[in-house]
């Protein structure tokens, strides 16, 4: 089917919005990070959970090797980076989810309060992560003080 010829009187179509038309803000970052943290927890957490189950099934030596990545007298940096990263992703995803839940009620669409709540998701997730790991590692952190 042939397209009809465009007349000179026909107005130009509007240009589709693109990222260059918008000013980047924390509300956009929170929205993107919400998706990224969800995917990251599913992928990394799923692989870690599968590794844990496989090490359980393989026996004591395998399970002890798995635990050596996350516990023991020597800190394994990679294990802690993964653990802290997953915890930060969990809390960021949770705080962003709470923000979206509030927005689903019809509130928080004013620009100032929206940006403020977006920034608070970052602050809240970092504080919760620090609090969580402070409690988890209090014996390790304060072992020299005793």
Of residues 52 and 74, which shows the higher confidence score? 52
pLDDT in tens, 19-66: 566 778 899 999 999 999 999 999 999 999 999 999 999 999 999 999
| Cβ–Cβ under 8 Å, residues 89 and 122 | no
User: Kind and range of the H or E element at 58?
Assistant: helix 26-58
Of residues 74 and 120, which shows the higher confidence score? 120
């Amino acid at each position: 089917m042939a397209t009809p010829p465009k007349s000179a009187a026909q107005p130009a179509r509007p240009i589709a919005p693109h990222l260059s038309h918008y000013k980047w803000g924390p509300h956009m970052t929170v929205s993107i990070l919400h998706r990224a943290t969800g995917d990251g927890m599913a992928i990394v957490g799923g692989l870690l959970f599968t590794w844990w189950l496989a090490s359980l099934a393989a026996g004591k030596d395998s399970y002890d090797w798995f635990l050596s990545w996350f516990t023991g007298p020597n800190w394994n940096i990679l294990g802690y980076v993964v653990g802290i990263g997953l915890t930060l992703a969990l809390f960021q995803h949770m705080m962003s989810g709470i923000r979206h839940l509030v927005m689903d009620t019809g509130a928080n669409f004013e620009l100032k309060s929206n940006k403020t709540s977006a920034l608070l998701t970052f602050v809240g997730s970092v504080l919760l992560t620090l609090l969580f790991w402070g409690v988890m590692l209090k014996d390790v952190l304060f072992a020299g003080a005793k």
